[in-house]
Amino acid sequence: MLNIPFASLAVVLYLYASLARAAPNPAAFSASLNIVKESINPPRGWVQGPPAPEHHTIKLSIALPQPRFGELEAHLQEVSDPAHARYGQHLSKADVDALVTPHQDSLDSVDDWLAQHGLGDEDMVRSDGMDWVTIRVTIGTAEKMLDTKYHIWIHEESGDVVVRTLSYSLPESVHEHVELVQPTTMFARFKPEMASLHYFPSVPDALEPITDSIAAVLGQQVPSSTTAVSPTCNSIITLECLQDLYGTKGYTPQAADKNALGITGYLEQFANLQDLKQFYAQQLPQAVNTSFTFVPVAGGENSQNLSEAGIEANLDTQYGLGLSFPTPGTFWSTAGRPPFNATLTTPTDSNEPYNTWLDFVLNQTNLPQTISTSYGDEEQSVPLSYAIRACSSFAQLGARGVSVIFSSGDGGVGDGDTDPATTTCKTIDGQNKTTFLPFFPASCPYVTAVGGTVNVAPEVGVFFSGGGFSNYFGRPAYQDSAVGTYLANLGQTYAGLFNASGRAYPDVSAQSMNFSIVSGGRNGLVSGTSAAAPTFAAIVSLLNDVRLASNRSPLGFLNPFLYTQGVQGLTDILTGNNPGCGTEGFNSSQGWDPVTGLGTPKFEVLKSLV
């Protein structure tokens, strides 16, 4: 039986009542609408409901080919390779836009196709690189354009309701000029990667200031030495635990006027300023009167109601900005939930917030040099065309000198389940085979994926640390040596459960267990690679400060550096494993491994290297 929240159920009932309409007239479709662009099997965890109402409005994003992307990729490799003469000579926004601009015949063909459906220039929003066109149409029009049928789909676990289709087609005349159209087959939810918040019982009232007993607990966690890490950091992680563990204590940023750290927020995850102030009062008093720049994307909000404080958003801002203080921070809140609002007579569609954010940042001239994101989903839930296109967007950011950091996921090699009889690690290609489930966007070769550790003397790979091998992306050259060594030692273990030639992740790791945060006015502990990503990103931001203070360029795309010179500045994690999919998962080992990557940061060494 479906467990659907009341609001979502009301929406579904409303939609059923809206179905008294004629089906699209097949005669209205062009006879050339016969080339399938994409077709998928029903996604795991989603149940098909009734046809979508014809009057429902949907915003379609149309991706045109980027014929010069190979050139952009070559530029990215050169400017990111410490051994290359062009290292650090990043491209400008104008340079990148020029490299992703489609051929004129693609622009003309898509314009002609849209014109056939009554859409002109005034109905289109184009990206600066002209490689995306966004239109707003009714479901009825979209179905005619794409020779498809949209339905209501309900996510069994959450009750989320979306409008999607399992396949769509394009006219022969435009087929080669369009890479993808979404939302169509995109069911990924890009959920935050974090465990539930566990509150300290000593704070009975959410609005009371921190009690003396909790202050004492927090005080015990703060190591007294700048070189040793207190054993109590095995129980509670604070800013000072991380500063001591990774060696950033005592470093004062010098380029705060040039540097910035960006943090993404989705799904109504609001970063609460009162919580941030309370967190700073406890752990970083000199920052109490500071904040971050809030940037709404597509109408995104940042409610300051304590009851709406987002655990993910608070974790990311409190640790990302706290560790990199006083480096300025930007918090993007991107609007977008399941598309229906039961309180509206005519539901509106906010589509995929993830793509909305990418479109927004790529159109900005000035960006933070480091961006941290703690959201993702199973790679197989993301259409291959979408994953490739999103990955190319991260390459564009890297070419412009932005370090893009992602959490590696919290399911180990898949679902975290060691029982073969109950594992949910199955393919959705119709064969229902047991398989490890890689995580996207961590599996994109143009991002730096951060796994998780626990304990401080020594650090150990945490059991939920997401890691493995992509089924979509091949292994990049910068990984060949390190990953090849690991695979040689692994032998035939788990043969057939993963793609040994795929992009391997995570790249690095950081602490991810029992982070002390403030949320809703209360102190609590939260765990997940969601904590590791902003932690590592903050250290990267400090390294960018080092370079910018010396009038050098920011680090940009990190991985070629990390897998060569940078590995000297990482602590190799030798123990731990990441169970899932009915197995004990991979093991941490000497060198790179699919639990902790190359290891955790040693700031002073990295500082000397950059």
Rounded CA-CA distance 107/89 in Å is 31
DSSP 173-223: HHHTT-SEEESSS-----EE--PPPEE-TT--STTSPPPHHHHHHHHHHS-
Other CB atoms within 10 A of residue 458 CB: 12
Rounded-to-5 percentages of helix, strand, coil across the chain: 30, 20, 45
Residue pointed to by tokens 């990215």? 76
According to the annotation, is 123 in a ligand binding site? no
Please list the active-site residues.
312, 316, 530
CB–CB of 485/441 below 8 Å?
no
> Burial level of 225, CB count in 10 A (0-12/13-18/19+)?
exposed
**ω into 223 cis (within 30 of 0):** no
Q: What angle do CA 36, 38, 44 make, to 5 degrees?
A: 140
CB–CB of 160/352 below 8 Å?
no
According to the annotation, is 237 in a ligand binding site? no
Which of 512, 395, 413 is CA-nearest to residue 453? Answer: 512
According to the annotation, is 572 in a ligand binding site? yes
Distance of CA 492 to the CA centre of its chain: 31
300-333 per-residue burial string, b: 16 or more CB within 10 A, e: under 16: bebeeebeebbbbbbbbbbbbbbbbbebbbbbbb
Q: How far is CA 158 from CA 25, 193, 421, 512, in A?
A: 35, 15, 24, 25
Bridge partners, residue 517, by sequence? 524
CB–CB of 119/137 below 8 Å?
yes
Residues 6+ apart with CB under 8 A from 208: 521
According to the annotation, is 573 in a ligand binding site? yes
Binding site for Ca(2+), by residue number, is 572-573, 591, 593
Binding site, by residue number, is 572-573, 591, 593
